[in-house]
Amino acid sequence: MSLALDVLTIVAVSAGAFFFLAGTVGLLRFPDALSRLHALTKADNLGLGLVVLGLLFQPEGLFAGLKLITVWLLTLLAGATVTQLIARTARPGGAQE
Amino acid sequence: MTDRPLALDIGLAFLVLGVAVWTIAARDTFAAVVGFVAFGLLLTLVWARLAAPDVAPTEAAIGSGVTGGLLLGASTRLHGTQTPAPGEKPGAILRLAAAALCTVVSAGLAAIVLLLPEPAPTLAPQAATNISATGLGNPVTAVLMAYRAIDTLLETVVLLLALVGVWSLAPDRVWGGFPGPRHHADPDGLLPFMAQLLVPVGLLVGIYIFWVGSVAPGGEFQGATILAAMWVLAMMAGLVDAPAVSRRWLRLLLVAGPAVFFAIGLAGFAMAGAFLAYPEAYAKLLIVTIEVPVTLSIATMLALLVAGPPERALR
Amino acid sequence: MGEATLYGLCGAALVGLGLFGLIVHPQPLRKILAFNLIGGGVFLLFGAIARRGAAAGFGGDPVPQALVITGIVVAFSATALAVALLLRLFQETGQATLHLDG
Amino acid sequence: MPNSATAGGFLLILAIVLPVTGALLSLVLGGRHAERVALLVMPAGLVVAVAIASVVWRTHTVLEYSVGSWDPPLGVAFRADGLSVVMIVTAALLICGIGAFARAQFPTPRGQETRTSLVFWTLLLAVWGALNAVFIGGDLFKLYVALELLTFAAVPLVSLDGRAETLTAALRYLLFALFGSILYLLGAVLFYGAHGTLDIVLLSHRIHAGPVAWAAISLMTAGLLAKAALYPFHLWLPPAHAGAPAPASAILSGLVVKAPFFLVVRLWFDVMPRVPERAAAQVLGTLGAAAILFGSVVALRQARLKLLIAYSTVAQIGYLFLMFPLAVEPETGHQWNTAAWTGGVLQAISHAFAKAAMFMAAGLIAEALGHDRIAGLAGIGRALPITVFAFGLGGLSLMGLPPSGGFVAKAMLLTAAVAEGQWWWAVVVLTGGVLAGGYVFLVLARALADASEPLTLLSPISPSRQAVVVALALCAVLLGFIPLRPSELLHIGRPDIAIGGPR
C-alpha cells in the first residue's frame, strides 16, 4: 500500500518538476514577454499542482493536506493576477499607467 | 558539528552567492533589485537549513518581500536616472583597490569562521532552563519578549522614528495629508478582485502566525508583516485609501504597541520588582497583552513606511 | 565542515561583495541594495553562530536567532528611510545623485 | 531569578523611558502639545540625570540594572559609571538649553500642526533617549539598537527645510551611518561567536588577544569612526551639520557625534582593557591629528559661517582621538595616561557646550542678517553684542585658551604627550590651537568691524534666546575652573586605572 503511494508520489512530483523545468526553459528562450508569461504560468499552475498532488499521497493528516491545497490555490490566484498585470503593461500600447 | 554539508547546502550557498554577484554586477538597477528579491527568497531557504524557523518567515516577509517591494517601486520611479554620470563612475584603480580591500575583509571573516572555538559557546541551555518562567513554548519568542524585551521595545521605537523621518520629507503644503498617490479601483481589473479575495485570507493567516508565535515558529513581526502586506494590497487595488497622517486614531494605533510595552514594563516594578519583569503566574498573559498592540502597531508602521510621505493635502 | 560553517563562509563572502558594491556604485539606490547585501551576510554569520550553538534540544542558539529578527526589522527601517529620502531628492531635483553640484 | 540591580538602578530606566515616552506622546498629541510635552520632559529628565550623578558620586560605585531581572549573559544590563554620568548630565543640560532656544524657531500656530515643529520636538526627545541608551548600555547589541535609534532620530533633523542640498546631505549622512552600524554589528557577532556573550563586563573577563578579538574590534572601531566623522570619514559631516536648522546643528555637532566616540572609548577601555595595542592606538591618534590639521585648514577657507563651524567640528573630533595613543599604555598605573584619559573626555564635553553655543549663535546671526556669509558680518558685533560674545567664548574652548574647558582638556593632553615622550602629539595640539585661533579671529574681526552703512536686522532677536546661547558658552568656560588633574568622578567603575598614586 505504502509502496504504491510512494510510486504515485514519485511520478507526480517528477512530472511537476518536469513542468517547472520546461517553464524555466521557456522563460529563458521565448522571445517576448507574453509568451514568456505563458511558459511561466505552466510551471506555476501545473508544476506546483502536480507536486502538491504528489505530496497528498503521503498522508500526514487532513489538516496538512488542506494546507497544501490552500497553498496551491493561493499561488494560482496570485499568479493569475500578476500575470494579467504584467501582460497589460507588456502589451503594445499598454505601458501607460 | 563534524558532519559534511549536504550537496543541497553547497548548491544553495553557491546559488545565494551567484544571485548576490548578479545584484552587484547587473547594469540595470531594476534587474539588480529583482536579483535582490530572489536573494532574499534563497536566504529564506538558508534559514530553514540553519534550523531557524522563526527567522525564515521574517526574512521572506520583511527582508525579501517588503524591502524588495519598496526597492522595486523606487527603481521604477527613478527609471532613467540610474545611469551614472560620466564623472561619477569610479576609475579602474579605485575599483581594483576596493576589490582588494573587500577580498581581504571576506578572507579575514572566512578565516575567523573557521577559527571559532569548539565547542561553540551558547546560551541555549540558559534559555531552556528559564523558559518555564515566561510561560512560552518558543525560545526565540522568549528572547524577544522576556530575556531581551528591551531590544524589542526599542526596536518598535526605531521603526516609529523611521516613519517620522519618512513623514518629515513631505512638502509643507501637504502636511497632515495622505501618503502616496491615490489608487483607483479598476472595475475590469483583476487586482481589486484578487484583493477582495486575498485580504480576508491574509488577515486570517497573519493573525494565526502572530498567535502561534508563543509556542511555535511565528510571532509578532512575521504576523504584522502579513497584515501590513494585506493593507498595502488593499491600498494598491484602490479598495481603501491610505490614512491621512494627521488622523488621531492613526497616531494612537502607531504608538499603542510601544506605549503598552512601556506601561507593562513599568508595571513590572510593582508586580515583579523590576522593569519589564513579569510575575511568573501571569507572564504569558502579560506577554500576549503586549504582543497584540505591538503587532497592530508594527503592521501599521510597515504599511505606512511602504506608502511613503504624504503627497496629497487634506482638503 | 558542517552546514553552519558553510553558510558562515557564505556570509563572509556576502559581506565582501556588498562592501564592494557600496564603494564602487555611485547611484544611491545601488548603495542601498549593497547595504542590504552586507546585512544579509552579517545575519548569515549570526545564523551560522546560532546553529553552532545548538543545544538543550534547540536546533540553534535562540539568542542570536532573535537578534537576527531584530536586525532584519532595523535594516528594513533603514532602507525605507533611505528610499524615501532618495525619492524626495529626485522629486526636488529630477536627479538621484549624491553629488551636490551634479 | 537573581537580581543584581544596585540601589537607585531604576533611575537608569527612567533616563530612557522618560524621553522616549515623551516622544511617543508628542507624536500622538501633535500640534501645540508636541512642544509642551517636550518642555515638560526636559526639567524632569534633567532631574533624573542629576539624580543618577549624585547616586554614583555618593556611592562611588557603578550603578547597575538588569532589565526584567534577567542577568547577563541571557538578559541585558544597564550600567552607569563615572564616564556615563558625565555624558548623561552633559546631554541633559544641552538638550534643555537647545529646547529653550528652539521654542522661537519651531512655533506652532494655534489649532494647526506644522511639520517642522512636530518633527523637531518629537525627534529632540528621541535623540535624548537614544543618547542616554548609548551612555548606559551594557550590552553590545542593545548598543547597536541605541545607535540606530540615534541615527533615525538625527538624520531627519538635517533635512527639515526640505531643500535639495540638505536632502542630499541627509542621504549621505544616512548612508555613512548605516555603513558604520553594519560594521559595528559585524564585530558584535564575532564577539558572540567567540565568547557567547554581548555583555561588556562579561566580555572583558573572557576576551583574550587573538585574531577574533582583533578583527571584531577593528570592524567595530571602523564603523564607529564612520559615524563619528573622523578623518577620512568626515565627508558627510560639514554639509549635514551646516545645512540643518541651528538648534538641530547644535544637537548633531554637540552631542550626536559624541555617541560613537563614547562607544569607541567603551570598546578600547572597557571591553578589552587587558589587550592593549600601541600600534592601533597610534593609528587612531594619527587619524585624529590629520583631522585636526585638515579640518582647521579647511575651516579657515570657508566663506559661510555655519560651514566654518562644521569644519571646526571635524577638527575638534580629532582631539578626542589623541587620547588613545596617550592613554593606552601596556603598563597600567602610569599617572599621565589617566590625565590623557580625563583630557579626552573633558574635550568631548567642553566641545559639546562650546559648539552648541557657536552653532546657535550663528543661527541667530543668520536670522538677523538673512545670510551667514562671513564677508558680510560687519556691524553684527554692534547689533548683537551678546551673541557675538557667546561665539567668542565658545571659540576660547576651541582654541584651548584659559579659562575654558577646552584649555584644561588640551593642557592635559599636552602634559601627557610631553611626559610620555610622545612630543609629536603636543605639536599637533598646539598647531590645531593656533589654526582654531585663526578661524575664530577671522569671524570675530569681521563681526566687530564697523559696517560701512547702518545695519538693518531682518528680524528682532529676543534677549532670552541670546541668554541661552551665552549660558551654554559659559558652561564651556566654567569647565575651565575644574582642577587640572585626573578627575576622580571619571574613574568610578574603572579600577584598572590608578589615579596618580596609591588609593
Q: Each residue of B8-26: pLDDT tens digit?
A: 899 999 999 999 999 999 9
Give yes or no for residue C13 having a pLDDT over 90.
Answer: yes
Decide which of D7 and B86 is more confident: D7
Residue in chain B closest to D67 (alpha carbons) equals: B275
- Cα separation, C72 vs B298, whole angstroms: 13
Q: D479 and D433, same structural domain? A: yes
C34 falls within a domain: yes
Q: Do C74 and D145 touch (CB under 8 A)?
A: yes
Q: Which residue, D138, D166, D184, sits at the end of a domain?
A: D138
- Cα separation, D452 vs D184, whole angstroms: 54
Do the chains A and C touch each other, judged by at least 3 C-beta pairs below 8 angstroms? no
- Cα separation, D219 vs B110, whole angstroms: 14
Chain D CB contacts of C63 below 8 Å: 74, 192
Q: D143 and D191, same structural domain? A: yes
Smallest Cβ–Cβ distance between D178 and the set C53, C78, C89 belongs to C78
Q: Do C35 and D172 touch (CB under 8 A)?
A: no
Give C44 to chain B, closest Cα distance, Å.
Answer: 8
- Using the Cβ of D304 and the Cβ atoms of chain C, whether some distance falls under 8 Å is answered with no
CA-based radius of gyration for chain B: 23
Residue D40 CB coordination number (10 Å): 13
Q: What is the DSSP letter of B176?
A: T
- Give the closest residue to D19 by CA, choosing from C63, A68, B161: B161
C98 falls within a domain: no
Chain D CB contacts of B255 below 8 Å: 24-25, 27-28
Residue type (1 letter), B260: V
Domain ranges of chain B: 1-121, 125-315
Smallest Cβ–Cβ distance between D192 and the set C64, C71, C77 belongs to C64
Q: Does domain B1-121 have CATH number 2.170.190.11?
A: no
Best mutation target among D168, D172, D174, D191 (most C Cβ atoms within 10 Å) is D168
Chain-centroid distance of CA B136 in Å reads 23
- Give the closest residue to B296 by CA, choosing from B203, B233, B231, B224: B224
Cell numbers given for C26:
555611485
Give yes or no for residue B75 having a pLDDT over 70.
Answer: yes
A52 falls within a domain: yes
Cell numbers given for D66:
538588569
A56 falls within a domain: yes
Q: Do B266 and B275 contact (CB within 8 A), yes or no?
A: yes
pLDDT band for position B4 (cuts 50, 70, 90): low
Please state the rounded mean pLDDT for residues D436-457: 89
Give yes or no for residue D285 having a pLDDT over 90.
Answer: yes
Domain around D178: 139-275
- Cα separation, C36 vs D122, whole angstroms: 28
- Using the Cβ of B30 and the Cβ atoms of chain D, whether some distance falls under 8 Å is answered with no
Domain with residue C48: its CATH number is: 1.10.287.3510
Give yes or no for residue A94 having a pLDDT over 90.
Answer: no
Q: What is the DSSP letter of A61?
A: -
Q: Do D68 and B146 contact (CB within 8 A), yes or no?
A: yes
Q: Do B190 and A78 touch (CB under 8 A)?
A: no
pLDDT at residue B1, rounded to an integer: 43
pLDDT at residue C101, rounded to an integer: 44
- Using the Cβ of C82 and the Cβ atoms of chain B, whether some distance falls under 8 Å is answered with no
**How many inter-chain contacts (C to D, CB under 8 Å) are there?**
78
- Cα separation, C10 vs C15, whole angstroms: 9
CA-based radius of gyration for chain C: 17
Number of independent structural domains in chain C? 1
Smallest Cβ–Cβ distance between B122 and the set C8, C44, C53 belongs to C53
pLDDT band for position B181 (cuts 50, 70, 90): confident
B208-212, B245-249, D328-332 — most confident range: B245-249
Q: Is the peptide bond before B119 cis (omega within 30 degrees of 0)?
A: yes
Location of C-alpha cell 531594476: B30
Chain C CB contacts of B33 below 8 Å: 33
- Give the closest residue to B166 by CA, choosing from B38, B305, B21: B305
Q: D59 and D158, same structural domain? A: no
- When the pLDDT of each residue in chain B is averaged and rounded to a whole number, the result is 89
Decide which of D3 and D437 is more confident: D437
The beta-strand segments (E) located in chain B are 178-179, 310-312
Number of independent structural domains in chain A? 1
Residue in chain C closest to B163 (alpha carbons) equals: C81
Q: Do A66 and A52 contact (CB within 8 A), yes or no?
A: no
- Using the Cβ of D60 and the Cβ atoms of chain C, whether some distance falls under 8 Å is answered with no
pLDDT at residue D293, rounded to an integer: 96
Please state the rounded mean pLDDT for residues D476-492: 82
Number of independent structural domains in chain D? 3
- When the pLDDT of each residue in chain C is averaged and rounded to a whole number, the result is 90
Cell numbers given for D401:
585658551
- Cα separation, D266 vs D260, whole angstroms: 10
Interface residues of A toward B, Cβ cutoff 8 Å, are 74, 77-78, 80-81, 84-85
pLDDT at residue B45, rounded to an integer: 94
pLDDT at residue B233, rounded to an integer: 87
Give yes or no for residue B108 having a pLDDT over 50.
Answer: yes
Q: D261 and D194, same structural domain? A: yes
Give yes or no for residue D330 having a pLDDT over 60.
Answer: no
% of chain B exceeding 90 in pLDDT: 50
Q: D441 and D382, same structural domain? A: yes
Q: D127 and D34, same structural domain? A: yes
Give yes or no for residue D111 having a pLDDT over 50.
Answer: yes
D281 falls within a domain: no
Q: Kindly report the backbone phi and psi dihedral angles of residue C29, in degrees, each rounded to the nearest multiple of 5, phi listed first.
A: -65, -35
Q: Do B192 and B237 contact (CB within 8 A), yes or no?
A: yes
- Using the Cβ of B112 and the Cβ atoms of chain A, whether some distance falls under 8 Å is answered with no
Q: Do D3 and B273 touch (CB under 8 A)?
A: yes
Q: D370 and D346, same structural domain? A: yes
Residue in chain C closest to D194 (alpha carbons) equals: C49
Please state the rounded mean pLDDT for residues D396-404: 91
The beta-strand segments (E) located in D227-365 are none
pLDDT at residue D326, rounded to an integer: 87
A60 falls within a domain: yes
